[in-house]
Structure 1
Amino acid sequence: MNPLLDRLGVRLPIIQAPMAGTSTPAMAAAATNAGALGSIGVAAMDAAAVCKAIVDVRAATDGPFNVNVFCHCPATPDPVRERAWLEALRPVFHRFGVEPPAAIGEIYKSFLTDTAMQELLLEARPPVVSFHFGLPSDDVIVRLKAAGIVLLSTATNLAEAQAAAAAGIDAIVAQGIEAGGHRGMFDPAAPDAELGTLALTRLLVSRIDLPIIAAGGIMDGAGIASALALGAAAAQLGTAFVACAESAADDAYRGALRSQAAFATEFTKVISGRPARCLPNGFTALAQAELAGLTQPDYPIVYDAGKALIAAARAAGDGRFGAQWAGQGAPLARSLPTAELIAELKRELAAVRAS
């Protein structure tokens, strides 16, 4: 018996992580149809785009799926810092024959203040909604739960998990330091204990009376089995799906994932303004060169400059820049259709349990 799986309506203790930029409606539907919980990351979308994404998922599956939103504190503009950031990047933009943007700003809203997104989710009623970077207001949580939506929240430490439990969240995603993509800390300025997936999962299982979902560095059935042995109700895998056929990852991203870069993932704030684990590339090099020592603008204002640089590099045929999020298990990624990958994970998990 696994009460979380029963509540989610899935057969397998596997959640395809909602990695923004790579997860797609096609991937989410394929994951759900294969028995896992599919997810879409919608933090960079407006309400209209999210509505379409939900419609697309529902057109391809009758099963449950997760919609992930970001609950970061809204940015505080600082024209001085923003101008300095753009000036430091000017030589990099010039390499690609373009000027940097004249100004940068908050390119998408936090779910905390995006009332249009809140109302859309209440109307669309996706089976699951997950929160990253924090929690929405008590009122929003109450309304989402009243709509019959199961709520998940990322936590990187015990205090965050306790806050989520007190707010009425249904299950906690224990994000270990190994995880790819954005670190889900509620307060990025606070000290980070940098707990690994193993330690964090076991800590939360022992202290929180909610289902715990292990996340970070899990790439195969053996990893899933390990998480379940620690008491997790399920495992969330993100990097494992980046190379899948349905992923939105471009050729440069896929190539980097197959290269030696996969063995040396690192944290950087220079792409978006918040710590995120990625493959080393042109952006991570900037942290040691043009951007070294600068005080960053707030997240996601930094991302406005980052996306402009990504576009300039791509237009010039340079694949060294990109938000190539990946966890420490990146070398174990497999290039398979989503359904085939989940079938492999299921077989591997069964083999471990039978041994």
Structure 2
Amino acid sequence: MLGSFSFAINIFFILLIGLLTSYEDVKKNRISNRYIALAVIIAFLTNVVDSFLEPAPAETKSLYLQTTLLNASVSFFVGMLLWKMQVWRAGDGKLFFAYSFLLPVSAYYYGFIPLFPSFAILINSLTPIFIILCLNVWVATSSSEKFEILKRTANLKSILYMLLSLISLQWMISIAFKYLSLDVTSSSYLSMLLLLLLSNSFQEMLYEISPPLVLLRLLLDSQFLSYAFLTQLLLPFLVFAIALAFITNLASFRFNERVKIAHLKPNMCCVERVARKGGFYVRVATAKKPLKLNYDGLTVDDIKKLKQMSREGKLKFDELVVKQTIPFAPFLFLGVLLTIILKGDVITYIKLLVI
């Protein structure tokens, strides 16, 4: 609904912020908050304030504003969720939110999801990463590592439970948001996001309640077994399940390494946490009260603190597992550019070309 001038301003700042954050992330392994703040300010002025000034009916303005703010809110939540799940860093999550708020919702068309149009940016950003990781496996891993990754990825029991969970969640979402008239693909994408959220803390419960829910759905809504429904549900699911399992298992082989305390460097991302146990400090996977460090990117002071504690004999370890982080900013920039060019996500676009 934005005028062409405001739309052009948004695209200009997307290009500017994309170039600046990509350069900074590659060179310095960080994303400055000032770029995020700039994007949010411009987005507020154009997508919120200027939308009221456009010559359009009040209902159209209200719908545009609601969609914009809802999309921005969901994007912020998803960005922080993926940070908590250690898919990317906090700065990447904030940058995703900034792009989602800055890109007008009128730019989305193919695969449009009313609750979360910016899911297209997420798909378009993660797809190139998945391709690069596949090439990395082929070139950089040994035969035994390839076999182990494929074996873990092709865990039929886990995939079956994930599929049952997805079918039940998709049904619940379709009922809950019936007034939005979500198509199968849109509700499937939202189900995947919800599955990511719940599987972190409620995986066992989800796996227990999903089979009876699927049976109940079979009795009440047998049309979900139709060919059209299954093709729209299964294609996104297969991409989601295989990519998630593949990337998760690949990370344990190629993107984690042990670094001596003496060799730690600023901005290194720690996979482990440091927690007090008795009179000493130990390494743990998670901790309610970990030692206060910036685990997403160690600072100079953090490293000095760890080295001092090591010299004083307070640490029961001499190395930490750190993640070899991928600069996400360039991929997010590529993702938003693809979204603008394709007017949606690449998977939906390819499906339309094939069909």
TM-score computed with the length of structure 2 as normaliser: 0.27
Based on CA coordinates, which of the two structures has the bigger radius of gyration? Answer: 2
TM-score computed with the length of structure 1 as normaliser: 0.27
User: Higher relative contact order at CA 8 Å, sep ≥6: structure 1 or structure 2?
Assistant: 2
Q: As a proportion of its length, which structure holds more strand? A: 1
